[in-house]
Amino acid sequence: MLETGRNCWRIVKADRAAVVVDAANYFALARQAMLCAKSQILLIGWDFDTRICLDYDADDGAPNELGKFLTWLPKHRPGLQIHILKWDLGAVYLLGRGTTILRLMRWARSKQIHFKLDSTHPPGASHHQKIAVIDDSLAFCGGIDMTGSRWDTRNHADKDERRRRPTTGRRYPPWHDATMAVDGAAAAALGDLARKRWALAGGDPLPNPETESDRWPEELEPHFRDVEVAVARTRASVDGSKPVREIEALYLDMIAGAQRFVYAENQYFSSRVITDAICKRLAEPDGPEFVIVNPKTSQGWLDDEVMSPARAELIKRVRQCDTYGRFRIYTPVTAGGDDIYVHSKITIADDRQLRVGSANINNRSLGFDSECDLLIDAERPANAGASEAIDALRCDLIGEHLGVSPEMVAARLAETGSLIEAIESFHGGRGLAPFEPDEPNDLERALVESEILDPESAGDPCEPIARPGLLAGLKARLPFSRASAT
């Protein structure tokens, strides 16, 4: 299925790979890996908040707060260089984050910590990749930003006092997310991608790290060993460059090739192209089932005004095509009935393909914003045996949402032969609730149809409105907006 240059950028070997579910695990593992860094740390993200806690249980003498931790590291690693790249629109939010500005000003005087705002994208587009690379030996790529309101455990407890916003101290809802850890050549490839993005954003070219030591965290058990990993990207055309739509092609290929079922966790379901592909498969008498796990409600004005109405319209369209009853969209709830926000971007086709990344199932992620996904294809000869791990991961994810063991999910799936029947056979407490969208009003429907705020490409005549002049003026006044502080 994989073709470099069409549905992926590179196919590279990983000695080990693992899916890391929820930010409590990711933050702690990333902190442990960065403690072992010797040469280079690359943090590429949509957002960063220096005030978040990485590991509430760590007692190794290093700080647990992200900003203090990154400041502490170079003092104890003389040769270490840390590069942080963040979407430029986030500069507006930094002004309201307490000590964050002071922390960034201190970094601006450092010769080892370099912070840059990424504005190299079309007006209105965002830099949406979430990548961390340590010495080109270990890399994380997925949906988790190192920012506020992301931390949560896999328990998704109704009331967890650690789940509070950095600025207000108020509780935020349970949050489900995921990333993938890889090492070997796959980690080095993500290092190349991150350095290219840094240079594209106007930073000085970065050298490859010299160290080749193992950075894999001891407590992270690999799900895969010696596998080939595909790296797929989205990148809009900027200054005449060729657009990259590998992620869109990969989604379509996974849907077209699925035989039994497609399981997807995603923040959105608002892509016309993906909906058309699903409808085509639902029209087949013996086509696959489709199970989508979404958040019940959206966050932010863009979501409320565009993404939610688009989802409602597309769900209606899919259900009209679902003659054989093979489509379901669910939202997860806690044991107490609270909604769990879904931010993960995971797609699993049968027990053959697993992908984890930053791309949402919306127009922006398929052709407008910068994105990066990783995929493991069990049908490649080098990946023999990967299907068992993919099957186990799907049962593990569904089990988390249902509050049951992966073994129970696997047993029920074996009994029914249907992913939908297996899920709907569990009742009570924590679970997956069928989603019924609200009917969009006329204004919301018009916004959806115009694609003004969720365009399919940078070439659309109705691009998202933006105010780059205002933002550029703000950035010019920030001392940390330079590529480095030498």
* Statement: residue 466 has pLDDT above 50: no
Local confidence band at 446 (pLDDT 50, 70, 90 cut-offs): low
Residues 6+ away with beta carbon under 8 Å from 469? none
Question: What is the CATH code for 10-227+468-476?
Answer: 3.30.870.10
Q: What are phi and psi of 71, to 5 degrees?
A: -70, -35
Residues 6+ away with beta carbon under 8 Å from 185? 12, 13, 14
Q: What are the structural domain ranges in the chain?
A: 10-227+468-476, 246-434
For 387-419, b where at least 16 C-beta lie within 10 A, e where not — what string? Answer: bebbbbbbbbbbbbbbbbebebbbebbeeeebb
Please report the pLDDT score of residue 103 as a whole number: 76
Across the range 463-471, mean pLDDT stands at 28
Mind listing the pLDDT tens digit for each residue in 53-90? Answer: 999 999 999 999 999 999 999 999 999 999 999 888 65
Please report the pLDDT score of residue 64 as a whole number: 96
At 132, is the secondary structure helix, strand, or coil?
strand
Residue 63 is encoded by which pair of tokens?
Answer: 């700080």
Say yes or no: do domains 10-227+468-476 and 246-434 share a fold. yes
Please report the pLDDT score of residue 37 as a whole number: 95
Local confidence band at 416 (pLDDT 50, 70, 90 cut-offs): very high
Local confidence band at 245 (pLDDT 50, 70, 90 cut-offs): very high
Which burial class, exposed, middle or buried, applies to 13 when counting CB atoms under 10 A from its CB (0-12, 13-18, 19+)? middle
Please report the pLDDT score of residue 324 as a whole number: 97
Q: Tell me which range, 124-128, 237-241, 279-283, 312-316, is most confidently predicted by mean pLDDT.
A: 279-283
Say what the pTM is: 0.90
Q: Which CATH number fits domain 246-434: 3.40.50.800, 1.10.10.10, 3.30.870.10, 3.40.50.720?
A: 3.30.870.10
Query: CA nearest 143: which of 287, 358, 299?
Result: 358
Mind listing the pLDDT tens digit for each residue in 274-303? Answer: 999 999 999 999 999 999 999 998 776 556
| Pairwise pLDDT comparison (245 vs 437), residue with the higher score | 245
Please report the pLDDT score of residue 456 as a whole number: 56
At 175, is the secondary structure helix, strand, or coil?
strand
Mind listing the pLDDT tens digit for each residue in 364-399? Answer: 899 999 999 999 999 999 999 999 999 999 999 999
Do strands 131-134 and 40-45 pair parallel, antiparallel, or not at all (unpaired)? antiparallel
Across the range 8-23, mean pLDDT stands at 98
Please report the pLDDT score of residue 389 as a whole number: 98
354, 375 contact by CB (below 8 A): yes
Please report the pLDDT score of residue 478 as a whole number: 35
* Statement: residue 260 has pLDDT above 90: yes
Local confidence band at 117 (pLDDT 50, 70, 90 cut-offs): confident
* Statement: residue 224 has pLDDT above 80: yes
* Statement: residue 412 has pLDDT above 60: yes
Average per-residue pLDDT for the chain: 87
Please report the pLDDT score of residue 301 as a whole number: 52
What percent of the chain is modeled with pLDDT above 70?
86
Mind listing the pLDDT tens digit for each residue in 468-485? Answer: 322 233 233 333 333 333
